[in-house]
């Protein structure tokens, strides 16, 4: 059974990449189920109902999110659906924890698969998130056991992502890093746990991690904390990994990195 996990879809360029590339990838690799991180879809921040439905029409089955989950007004309604999760480790008494779920179980090809969304402490988020390590430890201890468990770990630093892998290898089927928008080349399987530090982003390659390059350079030149982000446009990349799950042994057989680069729009 093959699960495709697509990295952070970034605004309109990322949507275009999904529309153009996802049908071809699904056919080429015989994909059974598609998961995508959608926290940057609408105007680079959050997910609207219109874009949620559009991405489903292109073949995405399930969505994970991140620190930008709550930026669009539609999100409360979207989170009522069973094919989307937001970060699980949010303070219990915070308003963001009042709707939606951070972990869900799906059933596919006779197997139960838990999908969990965690937010790293390395992400600046006003200390709204709780410790993802302790949250996952408790989740494993107290929640229903499933055949497979896939984690989207939305975190800033490579060290925090690697630490989660080190702490939970052998206990989780796959830990997929998101948030940095830069695909890493360290995919591996240890103790039956598949891992990649960051799956990368699906969006423009002509700016800076998908965003307008001039806006980002201005931020660094002037040391600005609050700044606008818009889609750079131009060429796109499609970043993903394929998890090959053995339905008999209930183990991950392989993790394959996918990188597709569009070159026919404009030059840098």
Structure tokens at 132: 């993802």
For residue 80, report the phi and psi dihedrals to the nearest 5 degrees.
Answer: -75, -20
Is 53 annotated among the ligand-binding residues?
no
Is 226 annotated among the ligand-binding residues?
no
Is 97 annotated among the ligand-binding residues?
no
3-state secondary structure of 87: coil
Structure tokens at 129: 């998130």
What positions carry a catalytic annotation? 68
Nearest to 255 by CA among 212, 196, 180, 215: 196
Nearest to 20 by CA among 30, 35, 9: 9
> What size, in residues, is the chain?
268
- Cβ atoms of residues 85 and 63 within 8 Å: yes
Tokens 């940057």 sit on residue = 40
Give residues with Cβ within 8 angstroms of 223, minimum separation 6.
Answer: none
Is 40 annotated among the ligand-binding residues?
yes
Distance CA 201, CA 166 (A): 24
Give residues with Cβ within 8 angstroms of 88, minimum separation 6.
Answer: 101, 102, 103, 116, 117, 118, 135, 139
Is 181 annotated among the ligand-binding residues?
yes
Structure tokens at 47: 């997910």
Binding region:
8, 39-40, 67, 154, 179, 181
Binding region for Fe cation:
8, 39-40, 67, 154, 179, 181
């Amino acid at each position: 059974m093959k699960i495709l996990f697509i990295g952070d879809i970034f605004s309109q360029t990322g949507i275009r990449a999904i529309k153009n590339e996802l049908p071809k990838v699904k056919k080429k690799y015989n994909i059974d189920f598609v998961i995508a991180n959608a926290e940057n879809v609408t105007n680079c921040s959050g997910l609207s109902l219109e874009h949620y439905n559009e991405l489903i029409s292109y073949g995405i089955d399930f969505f994970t999110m991140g620190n930008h989950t709550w930026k669009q007004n539609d999100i409360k309604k979207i989170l009522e659906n069973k094919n989307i999760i937001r970060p699980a480790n949010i303070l219990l008494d915070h308003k963001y924890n009042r709707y939606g779920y951070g972990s869900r179980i799906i059933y596919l090809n006779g197997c139960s698969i838990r999908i969990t969304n965690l937010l790293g402490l390395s992400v600046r988020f006003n200390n709204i998130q709780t410790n993802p390590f302790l949250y996952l430890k408790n989740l494993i201890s107290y929640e229903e056991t499933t055949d497979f468990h896939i984690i989207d770990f939305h975190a800033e630093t490579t060290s925090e992502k690697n630490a989660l892998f080190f702490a939970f290898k052998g206990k989780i089927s796959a830990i997929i890093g998101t948030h940095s928008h830069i695909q890493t080349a360290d995919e591996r399987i240890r103790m039956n746990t598949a891992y990649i530090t960051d799956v990368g982003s699906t969006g423009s390659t002509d700016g800076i991690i998908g965003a307008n390059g001039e806006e980002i350079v201005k931020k660094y030149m002037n040391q600005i904390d609050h700044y606008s982000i818009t889609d750079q446009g131009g060429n796109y990349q499609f970043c993903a990994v394929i998890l090959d799950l053995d339905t008999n042994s209930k183990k991950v057989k392989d993790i394959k990195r996918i990188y597709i680069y569009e070159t026919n729009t404009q030059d840098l």
